[in-house]
Amino acid sequence: MNYFFFLEASILICVLGALFSSLAKSQEKIRFITIYSSFFSTLCAIASYLGFYFGCQGFVILSEFNAPLPALSSTLYFVVLLCTPRTKFIGADKPFPSNLLLLSQALSLLICSSSSNTTLFLLLALEPLIPLIDLIRRGERIRIFLIHWIPAWLIAIPLAFANNMPNEITGCLITILVIIRMGIFPGHTWIVYLTEKCSFSIALLFIIPMAPVLILLKNNQLLHESHASLYLSWFAIASIFYFAGLTLVQRSLRNFFTYLCLALCAMVILGVCSHETLELTAAFSLRNSLWVALIGMAIVVRALEARHGRLSLFQNHGFYESTPMLGIAFLVCGLGCVGFPGTSAFISFEMLADEIIPSSPFFGIVIVFSEALISISLLMVYFKLFCGKKVEWSDIFKVRLREMIALWIIIFLIFGFRFLPLTDIATTHHNLEKTGPQQPH
């Protein structure tokens, strides 16, 4: 076997970049270090992905199942940092969490490349420290966050080290942990608070990757035998319908995006609760596709808020005249979120519905109806933001080159992700069949 240590280099670059950005005094230097550290980390992650495809490995052993994930994760982190407005780094009222974002990127790379339950549970316990530190830096209250996460930490750490715990208890604890971490109803209030009070970049990169999906896949057999997956699926289906309905009545753009994320994440969790390989394939493929589409939607939301502040959905704003690229990107990302034909999520949504409807018609009806509600809400928000009155906007509101590059990368991934090596549905299905359900230890 040829040795290829680019994945390790990618993680090391993020850690060193976080260290140097913490020591830098000039805000311009912090911005330079942050963006270029993320860029070179992304190049190394892509090189590790290509190296695995050609038979090379490093100390961190990848498989066909998770080989594309570090590259995808690092690319999306870089895209978010690339289109971050300069004013967020320089002259902002509250400091931009550059070092925290680079540490978060390093943690995401470790989670995506991890193959053991112990490592996954420990990383899942470390991950929320990033938004917690950012909330403390900003002087925000952390009571809501701690009320949810202290029980989650008390669950995650024993699960990482307990070898002889009964299956029923383990399944129950994993279910509670996933409900809290993924914001499944009724454990969602901390996520709404996080998107309101935390740095939006930190919040979206913490919520959207759906890290617990990997834990559910690795413990699928245990959850099925202990019937925990059945209980979790009922929580997930209630959350899908509840959050899809809430997207229709939001009057704040950021709250709309939060509930859109929660509804789609619950849909992925519902698919992963199954014991059928085809349904697991659809759910895991859907998770990767929604990861891209939701990041693109978040970039558009953040770009609009950077120009106009927090946006209300009570009135039509007519932003298409000044920023047509943002309008196009919003529509494309919306199509990716609902699995429009041609997008990478289309086949995943179809497979998920086709597998769920015969086994549980009620769940299938709720999913189809919820998708319709989400589609309607996306169109309503598009009309509120980009249609209506015509307003003469200054040139300072136009989309910058970096934002244009970031949005085109997202659009390419929404339509072309399935054409990349090891990312198509057939390969994912083959890997899940080969791996099979696993016990936790």
Mean pLDDT throughout 372-397? 83
% pLDDT > 70, the chain: 94
Residue 224 belongs to some domain of the structure? yes
- Residue 234's region, left for phi above 0, alpha for psi from -120 to 50, else beta, is alpha
Q: Which two tokens stand for residue 336?
A: 């990716």
Same domain, 66 and 129: no
Same domain, 44 and 174: no
pLDDT given at position 422: 62
Same domain, 108 and 120: no
Crossing angle of helices 228-249 and 361-386, in 10° steps, is 30
Residue 441 belongs to some domain of the structure? no
Residue spans of alpha helices (H) in 24-65: 27-53
CA-to-CA separations, 160 to 232, 402, 403, in angstroms, rounded: 20, 41, 40
Mean pLDDT throughout 232-253? 93
Torsion sign over Cα 202, 242, 120, 339? negative
Closest CA to 127 of 39, 205, 10, 197: 205
Choose one of 114, 133, 167: the last residue of a domain.
114
Residue range of the domain that includes 50: 1-114
Same domain, 96 and 165: no
Mean pLDDT throughout 179-202? 91
Is 70 exceeded by the pLDDT of residue 433?
yes
pLDDT band, very low/low/confident/very high, at 352 (cuts 50, 70, 90): confident
pLDDT tens figures, 145-154: 999 999 999 9
pLDDT given at position 35: 92
C-alpha to C-alpha distance for 249 and 271, rounded to whole angstroms: 26
Residue 440 belongs to some domain of the structure? no
Same domain, 22 and 152: no
For residues 316 and 381, the answer to whether their CB atoms sit within 8 Å is no
Choose one of 97, 114, 131: the last residue of a domain.
114
pLDDT tens figures, 38-94: 999 999 999 888 888 777 777 777 777 788 888 889 999 999 999 888 777 776 667
Q: What is the residue-averaged pLDDT of the chain?
A: 87
DSSP code string of 262-309? HHHHHHHHHHHT---HHHHHHHHHHHHHHHHHHHHHHHHHHHHHHHH-
Is 50 exceeded by the pLDDT of residue 417?
yes
Same domain, 101 and 166: no
Residue 192 belongs to some domain of the structure? yes
For the chain, helix, strand, coil in percent to 5 are 75, 0, 25
Residue 258 belongs to some domain of the structure? yes
Choose one of 63, 97, 114: the last residue of a domain.
114
Is 70 exceeded by the pLDDT of residue 435?
no
For residues 80 and 204, the answer to whether their CB atoms sit within 8 Å is yes
pLDDT tens figures, 113-145: 887 888 899 999 999 999 999 999 988 999 999
Closest CA to 46 of 78, 21, 19: 78
Residue 68 belongs to some domain of the structure? yes
pLDDT given at position 103: 94
312 SS3 class: strand
pLDDT given at position 202: 92
Same domain, 80 and 121: no
Is 70 exceeded by the pLDDT of residue 438?
no
Is 60 exceeded by the pLDDT of residue 441?
no
pLDDT given at position 394: 64
pLDDT given at position 440: 37
pLDDT given at position 81: 92
Residue 243 belongs to some domain of the structure? yes
pLDDT given at position 177: 93
Same domain, 201 and 104: no
CA-to-CA separations, 67 to 62, 295, 436, in angstroms, rounded: 5, 20, 17
- Residue 287's region, left for phi above 0, alpha for psi from -120 to 50, else beta, is alpha
**pTM score, whole prediction:** 0.92
pLDDT tens figures, 289-324: 899 999 999 999 999 988 888 888 888 888 888 888
Same domain, 290 and 242: yes
Residue 71 belongs to some domain of the structure? yes
Q: Which tops the pLDDT comparison, 381 or 25?
A: 381
Same domain, 100 and 208: no
Same domain, 256 and 364: yes
Same domain, 138 and 108: no
Least reliable range by pLDDT among 186-195, 209-218, 365-374? 209-218
For residues 425 and 347, the answer to whether their CB atoms sit within 8 Å is yes
Least reliable range by pLDDT among 24-38, 172-186, 260-274, 407-421? 407-421
Domain total in the chain: 2
